[in-house]
Amino acid sequence: EAIKKANRMSGYIVLLKLYNTLVRPHLEHSSTREGPEKKTEYHLTEISTLFLFCRYNIKALIGRGSFSRVVRVEHRATKQPFAIKIIETKAKEGREVCESELNVLRRVSHRNIIQLMEVFESHERVYMVMELATGGELFDRIIAKGSFTERDATRVLQMVLDSIKYLHSLGITHRDLKPENLLYYHPGVDSKILVTDFGLASSGNKAGDWLMRTTCGTPEYIAPEILLRKPYTNAVDAWALGVITYIMLSGSMPFEEENPWGPYDGGGNCPACPCINNNNIYFYTKDFITRLLTIDPNDRMTASQALKHPWIVTMAASSSMKNLHRSISQNLMRRAAPTHRNKSTFLFVNEEKVRPPLRSSPLRIHQMTIRIFRCDTRGRCRSSNPADKHPGHQVKAPIIFFISFLFDIGPQ
């Protein structure tokens, strides 16, 4: 107890010294109107950062993104673990990501959405203290488990859909839903799922009455209307959930076949890929995926409709235990092996600099984007063709859109 009191006292002494050396002199010499006020504001942000490190003990680096790092910390008084997301705000993109995420997290309160605890700010960084999810990413958990059934998939989707329904009711569109952003809260079998990473989220004034135009997201999960640079709605989240569901039940991407557009008919239905043709898959499962992976966003299910779909309602309460783990885990590990932790995260395009498409269909543009290129966390893209080993295939992320739009890649 004496040691704890001594540690607290030493922290107070450090703060007092900082106040006396940095802030107080400027306050005492504030007869001039401009300089001291600016300096005082700057030093106060530094004191805010000092409070952060006096309150939390940094333990380890968890992850790193284009403009951010995530560290695991421990509260010095309660010993409770948290995660701190440190966002660099010197660059314009970093400030935009920070503002977007803070705007969302300060508004939301849902059991399946990561919770923001408090925020600290320095001159060049913002520190967001959040819940710590220790259960791992969705697909890592699936691979580690000994079994995975459709019932397991529907229970995961119920939690994700409920959170997306809540976000959409507030006029918030996530725009970057992917397995890497779906985390288990703890390692236990009864753990809840948390939706994370709102750096690309968009906030509207009314639910369902919000059109967006920014081209952004992760290539494998971007809806066709975004790639066509059309005004789009929160239906883009439904498309991403369709891709996630497909991968959960097959272990493979829906658009990585040799001829991914052959299975589509004129109505833009879901591709007839391994998951759809699998006899072990429930009929309603195929209908669920088909109604999410629909080219026309007006025909796509909403999160509310998806929660009431017969597959979600019946399978979540079913005792069916057909184990899909073997084929799923093999496909997931094969897919993750060459690019593990090489996450596709961040794409922005200045729309005024991109020509409109020529004769390219939504499907062909989507095919060229997700099949030819993959982007790493630095915004560099690489060819997905194993035969393409030349360094010249590494290009900046926005170039994929120029390639799609400046050349006629439609059907010959």
Give the annotated binding-site residues for ATP: 85
Residues contributing to the annotated binding site: 85
Name the nearest CA neighbour of 272 among 257, 284, 292: 257
φ, ψ at 146 (rounded to 5°): -85, -15
Name the nearest CA neighbour of 355 among 408, 410, 394, 395: 408
Mutual orientation of helices 35-55 and 2-18 as an angle, nearest 10°?
170
β-bridge mates for residue 215, sequence order: 349
Contacts of 96 (CB under 8 A, 6+ apart): none
Q: Which segments of 283-350 does DSSP mark as H helices, in order?
A: 283-292, 303-307, 310-316, 325-336
Cα atoms in the 13 Å half-sphere on the side-chain side of 402: 9
Contacts of 242 (CB under 8 A, 6+ apart): 254, 270, 289, 292, 293
* Two tokens, residue 376: 């790493």
Catalytic residue, from 140, 152, 162, 176: name it: 176
* Two tokens, residue 86: 């440190």
Residue 7 — left, alpha, or beta (φ > 0 → left; ψ -120 to 50 → alpha)? alpha
Contacts of 258 (CB under 8 A, 6+ apart): none
Integer Cα distance of 208 and 194 in angstroms: 23
The question of whether 197 is a catalytic residue gets the answer no
If 0-12 CB within 10 Å is exposed, 13-18 middle and 19+ buried, where does residue 61 land? exposed
Integer Cα distance of 247 and 249 in angstroms: 5
Q: Using CA atoms in the order 163, 164, 169, 173, what is the torsion angle rounded to 10 degrees?
A: 130
Integer Cα distance of 195 and 173 in angstroms: 12
By the 8 A CB rule, do 86 and 69 touch?
yes
- Active site members: 176
